[in-house]
Amino acid sequence: MKSSNINNLNKVGILTSGGDAPGMNACIRAIVRCAANHGINTVGIKRGYAGVLKKDFIELHPRAVANIIQRGGTILGTARCEEMKTKAGLTKAVEVLSKNHIDALITIGGDGTFRGAVALAESGGIKIIGIPGTIDNDVYGTDYTIGFDTAVNTALDAIDKIRDTAGSLQRPFFIEVMGKSRGFIALDVGIAGGAEDILIPETPTNIEELSQEIESNFKKGKKSSIIVVAEGDDSGGVYRVAQQVWERLKLEYRICVLGHIQRGGSPTARDRILASKLGVSAVEALVNSQSGYMVGEHNGQTTFTSLEDTWKKSKKLDTKLLKMLKVLAT
């Protein structure tokens, strides 16, 4: 492939790090093809930062990323790399990148990924652009992260199915969805799935109120109660919530932990489009000499947020929607 001299950008490394998210492949494809249009070479780094340290690279070119736009997971693999949190690890990473003439990195992931990117930029002056890719949607600076829409729709499909059996046997169901510290998935899934309640880390959980609500739902003639519980809720987890409600109501219940199913599957159209747009924006940011930013979207417009802000600032979640849910669950 021909070499570019745009802002000394000859070779851009791409890595995916942290939890994989549907749409990451669509993003890799967009980066590779947009870079090729600018005459910039791209190299894929396997298993996130671990692949930098192990020099585990693959050449990427437009044909190498054919037929991946619809695939879940990440063709590059991913990892959570402890060594990159050490000074020795960072020094080694800078050395490997420099020896392999990689002068910029595009990192796709969540806040952990961006922390690694900033540490790397500070240690070796490498140019970095981040792209938000996590099902949790918990990244400041973008309305949506790649993978969130697919995860919500996957969980929703499961809840629709659970509702059939919950209603037939007239049982409360406690359904745990992912979101290790934020309730974005739970909120959207709960509203779209017509849940009776949603428990999220952003608001305190009151077991007494929840129990009364479930009891009154059945008295009102509701056939089931669907309670969506975010993994990171302050209640101590879905098993504890269900047990505490049972102690009060003595109502037979069931628990369903949706787990990693939410991370898999073919990305939705919205995720593929977001991934494609952010991939292109990341390459163009580098071409325009930007570095140290995450590209995102707010109201359909491209945004640039300093990588530090992505974890120092907290993204707002619209807790008013919980009130709306209560009205609609009447």
Count the alpha carbons within 13 Å of 219 in the hemisphere toward its beta carbon.
7
Contact segment (CB under 6 A) with ligand F6P among 57-65, 129-137, 158-166, 219-227 equals 129-137
Of the candidates 178, 49, 23, the one whose C-alpha atom is nearest the C-alpha of residue 115 is 49
Q: Coil, strand or helix: which one is 135?
A: coil
Q: Is residue 23 a contact residue for ligand F6P (CB under 6 A)?
A: no
Contact segment (CB under 6 A) with ligand F6P among 132-140, 161-169, 193-201, 313-321 equals 132-140
Q: Is residue 113 a contact residue for ligand F6P (CB under 6 A)?
A: no
Residue from the set 26, 27, 103, 136 that interacts with ligand F6P by CB under 6 A: 136
Nearer to ligand F6P, 78 or 281 (CB): 78
Q: Coil, strand or helix: which one is 249?
A: helix
Within 163-182, the residues that bind ligand F6P by CB under 6 A are 178-180
Nearer to ligand F6P, 134 or 225 (CB): 134
Nearer to ligand F6P, 134 or 268 (CB): 134
Q: Is residue 188 a contact residue for ligand F6P (CB under 6 A)?
A: no
Return the structure tokens found at 309: 């802000």
Q: Is residue 263 a contact residue for ligand F6P (CB under 6 A)?
A: yes
Q: Is residue 326 a contact residue for ligand F6P (CB under 6 A)?
A: no
Q: Is residue 63 a contact residue for ligand F6P (CB under 6 A)?
A: no
Nearer to ligand F6P, 24 or 34 (CB): 24
Looking at 136, 188, 197, 271, which residue is catalytic? 136
Nearer to ligand F6P, 106 or 178 (CB): 178
Q: Is residue 135 a contact residue for ligand F6P (CB under 6 A)?
A: yes
Q: Is residue 19 a contact residue for ligand F6P (CB under 6 A)?
A: yes
Return the structure tokens found at 272: 């593929």
Return the structure tokens found at 25: 């492949």
Q: Is residue 291 a contact residue for ligand F6P (CB under 6 A)?
A: no
Q: Which residue is listed with tokens 């690694």?
A: 116
CB of 25 to ligand F6P, least distance (A): 17
Q: Is residue 183 a contact partner of residue 200, using CB atoms and an 8 Å limit?
A: yes
Amino acid of residue 69: I
Q: Is residue 229 a contact residue for ligand F6P (CB under 6 A)?
A: no
Task: Please state, in angstroms and as integers, the Cα–Cα distance from residue 129 to each residue in 102, 143, 196, 239, 251, following that order.
Answer: 14, 18, 41, 40, 52
Q: Is residue 231 a contact residue for ligand F6P (CB under 6 A)?
A: yes
Q: Which residue is listed with tokens 């009151």?
A: 206
CA-to-CA distance for 98 and 197, rounded, in angstroms? 52
Q: Is residue 296 a contact residue for ligand F6P (CB under 6 A)?
A: no
Count the alpha carbons within 13 Å of 154 in the hemisphere toward its beta carbon.
25
Backbone phi, psi, residue 65, to 5°: -110, 20
The yes-or-no answer on residue 136 being catalytic is yes
Task: Please state, in angstroms and as integers, the Cα–Cα distance from residue 146 to each residue in 8, 14, 17, 191, 274, following that order.
Answer: 29, 16, 13, 20, 7
Q: Is residue 230 a contact residue for ligand F6P (CB under 6 A)?
A: no
Q: Which residues, in sequence order, are CB contacts of 38 under 8 Å at separation 6+?
A: 4, 6, 9, 283, 287
CB of 89 to ligand F6P, least distance (A): 20
Query: How many binding residues for ligand F6P (CB under 6 A)?
Result: 10
Contact segment (CB under 6 A) with ligand F6P among 9-17, 130-138, 203-211, 282-290 equals 130-138
CA-to-CA distance for 43 and 164, rounded, in angstroms? 48
Residues that bind ligand F6P (CB under 6 A): 19, 110, 134-136, 178-180, 231, 263
Active site positions, annotated: 136
